[in-house]
Amino acid sequence: MPRESAKARHQRTLDIIARLREAYPDAKCALDHKNPFELLVATILSAQCTDVRVNMTTPALFKRYPTPRDLAEAPADDVKELIKPTGFFNNKTKSIQGAARKIDHDFDGVVPDTMPELLTLPGVARKTANVVLGTAFGQNEGVVVDTHVARVSKRLGLTSQTDPTKIEQDLMKLVPREDWTMFAHLVIFHGRLCCYAIKPQCARCPVNELCPSAFKI
């Protein structure tokens, strides 16, 4: 493929977004939640775990400990048992209980809605903060970069980076800010349903004409 100008790459990105919107009109956050606190906890639990497994696990957790204070004061062993199916339950228990304590003590029991404040919570890095801000609060502060977004964005030629922070920086330059949250949802859906890590389905891909990697993997 000939060298692509910045203007051409920007236009191609807009075309990709338009086609993905048409292909996945129901794209949204796959983690079940009723409020920002539940989304925050679910996102922390989703590390190294499928969203399906998290969604099977969180109902019992939130039924028993529905508020930050409830979770903060819960016996750690009980929390570990409830979230055990998500893996790495020792560290995840420390993270979600630590976040719950800080929310209860420092933010009057309300999940903060700014990036700097969210990043003060145990277990919360930029990816989790982006999920909460974009989905729970409707704020486009960044682009969520998970394994699907990293893989698909590189295949689409939207980035050559491997570090999530640098990938996000590249995508924030190309994707209109109002689309940052939705872009991640669309790409995640595409990664799960078509652009697989192994044997991507290029023949039925809605953006194969715009992808420099099409039919080459």
Same domain, 116 and 168: no
Predicted structure pTM score = 0.94
Same domain, 64 and 95: yes
pLDDT in tens, the chain (217 residues): 568 999 999 999 999 999 999 999 999 999 999 999 999 999 999 999 999 999 999 999 999 999 999 999 999 999 999 999 999 999 999 999 999 999 999 999 999 999 999 999 999 999 999 999 999 999 999 999 999 999 999 999 999 999 999 999 999 999 999 999 999 999 999 999 999 999 999 999 999 999 999 999 9
Same domain, 47 and 114: yes
Q: Which of 32, 113, 146, 170 is catalytic?
A: 146
Last residue of a domain, one of 108, 136, 164: 136
What are the φ and ψ backbone dihedral angles of 142, each rounded to 5 degrees?
Answer: 180, -175
Residue 146 annotated to the active site: yes
Tell me the torsion sign for CA atoms 175, 162, 92, 196: positive
Tell me the torsion sign for CA atoms 173, 142, 50, 187: negative
Last residue of a domain, one of 136, 161, 181: 136
CATH of the domain at 119: 1.10.340.30
- Domain hosting 168: range is 6-26+145-210
Last residue of a domain, one of 119, 136, 153: 136
Q: Which of 92, 102, 104, 127 is catalytic?
A: 127
Residue 148 near residue 194 (C-beta atoms within 8 A): no
Nearest to 24 by CA among 186, 156, 207: 186
Whether 58 maps to a domain, the answer reads yes
Taking CA atoms, 74 is separated from 78, 82, 100, in Å, by: 7, 11, 10
The whole-number pLDDT of residue 3 equals 82
The C-alpha atoms of residue 197 and residue 176 are separated, in whole angstroms, by: 26
Whether 108 maps to a domain, the answer reads yes
Q: What's the domain count of the chain? A: 2
Residue 108 annotated to the active site: no
